[in-house]
Amino acid sequence: MADKYDVIVIGAGPAGYVAAIRCAQLGLKTACVDDFTDSDGKPSPGGTCLNVGCIPSKALLDSSKHFEQVRDHYGDHGIKVKNPEIDVGAMIARKAKIVKQLTGGVSQLFKANKVELVAGRGRLLKDNQVEVGPVPKGSKKTLKAKHVVLAPGSVPMALKGVDFDDKHIVANAGALDFDAVPKRLGVIGAGVIGLELGSVWRRLGAEVILLEALEDFLAAADTDIARAAHKEFKKQGLDIRLGAMVNKAQLKSSRVKVSYSDKEGDHELTVDNLLVAVGRKPATDNLLAEGTAVELDEHGRIQVDDECRTGAERVWAVGDAVRGPMLAHKGSEEGIAVAHRIAGKYGHVNLDTVPWVIYTEPEIAWVGRTEKELKDAGVEYRAGKFPFAANGRALAMNEPAGLVKVLAEKERDRILGVHICGANASELISECVVAMEFGGSSEDLASIIHAHPTLSEAVHEAALAVDKRAIHRAN
């Protein structure tokens, strides 16, 4: 007889494990099915984010930033360090320790909240039954629940003509575990993953070439922000080639030969390692059995309504596998909202105020609409900009690159978007998200006292600039 629960969550990534914990906190008997394992073959909840994504990449970004600061910038502060060296093994071990600490923390949270972690690959059957695939020391079993929450996450997209070998040609997970700094690293895709991991290995001494199929750099970001970021990345030595369509990549004599085309013709590039970072797709393969009434769209995404309900009664879906941005924090909020709805409470997710962040140097962050999107939609707006080069704290930190840009509705002054390229942009964007969530205006941001000297004063000044009354730059 199938085990019975109030809720079964398939997937223990940021959307799934958060949904499971909140369901349990609301008094629901909850199980979470997940097949992620660590290097020892033990369950490792946390999904891509904690295991091979957000967290390990930030650990390496931090380590590589420290190394670059010692090597290239400490002299600006009068600190002299001769011939610093990087111990790649120690850096990778530090990253692994952080991952283990956090995935272990999720396991402890499950225990504390009485969530049952079930190891194996979950598959939805009819009548809200969940089949758990075979594990190393067991066989398939079937669980049953009143409600099922699908949170399978996403996987890296492959590229035709480019086959992974998990050593020389890799996805994000492989680029987190190089045992030495590549002399020459090729990256297909100049998006979030490509820029972040490309930055890690460039700082450590690799020559990094990014091949981006689009003609525009960071097309999803505001044009002013993308332009400022591109300028800084070029200064740093990232070789970003736009309009570059990769045709094939082959491993030859432990090196990778990449063939690509652009408007100037056909080219070949030889690198030691190749990172394929062309995006991610929903991990919905073999997730649904016949007759579940849950439908997928042409991109493999689970179709849901505004409340994350699928076409099947009491089956929900959240995170990377549904509409909206593939971001951990968006998935987590959906997980909490669904838990509340299952328990008969109000659940809220506003997809219009989801912040985006790229953890490069400088960082890039934004919320809301870009200037181009407003123009294309015929929305009348006003814009205010302020450069970090005019911010005292940024200069004191030796990080004057970038700017803040605030976009506000012309008549009502409601904030429509905020875009930041600069130091700590990932933190600075939060007050802008709060302001937008509460329907705030640029005048609201301009009227709030910001501590001095702080980077947040750049947000304050950009809001003032919307009304052409910035103090520390000419309007």
Query: So what's the pLDDT on residue 374?
Result: 98
Query: So what's the pLDDT on residue 135?
Result: 58
Domain with CATH 3.50.50.60 in the chain: 3-155+281-352, 169-278
Specify the fold of 169-278: FAD/NAD(P)-binding domain (3.50.50)
From residue 403, alpha-carbon distances to 166, 232, 393, 441 in Å are 38, 12, 13, 19
Instruction: Name the DSSP letter for residue 43.
Output: B
CB count within 10 Å of CB 174 equals: 21
- Segments of the chain scoring below 70 in pLDDT: 1-2, 135-138
DSSP track, 135-195: -TT---EEEEEEEEEE---EEEPPBTTB---SSSEE-HHHHT--SS--SEEEEE--SHHHH
In whole angstroms, give the CA distance from residue 226 to residue 74: 28
- Would you say 338 and 316 are in contact if contact means Cβ atoms under 8 Å apart? yes
In whole angstroms, give the CA distance from residue 171 to residue 187: 10
Domain with CATH 3.30.390.30 in the chain: 362-466
Query: What tokens does 31 get?
Result: 């199980």
- Would you say 317 and 310 are in contact if contact means Cβ atoms under 8 Å apart? yes
DSSP track, 321-366: GSSS---HHHHHHHHHHHHHHHTTS-----GGG--EEE-SSSEEEE
Query: So what's the pLDDT on residue 1?
Result: 43
- What is the reported pTM? 0.96
Instruction: Name the DSSP letter for residue 306.
Output: T
Specify the fold of 3-155+281-352: FAD/NAD(P)-binding domain (3.50.50)
**Residue 419 appears among annotated catalytic residues:** no
Contacts of 333 (CB under 8 A, 6+ apart): 349
Contacts of 261 (CB under 8 A, 6+ apart): 244, 245, 247, 267
Indicate which residue of 73, 419, 452, 472 is catalytic: 452
Instruction: To the nearest 10°, report the CA torsion of 194, 434, 376, 330.
Output: 50
Least Cα distance to 238 among 195, 193, 182 occurs for 195
Q: Does domain 362-466 have CATH number 3.30.390.30?
A: yes
In whole angstroms, give the CA distance from residue 127 to residue 148: 10
| Per-residue pLDDT tens over the stretch 321-359 | 999 999 999 999 999 999 999 999 999 999 999 999 999
Query: So what's the pLDDT on residue 352?
Result: 97
Query: So what's the pLDDT on residue 140?
Result: 86
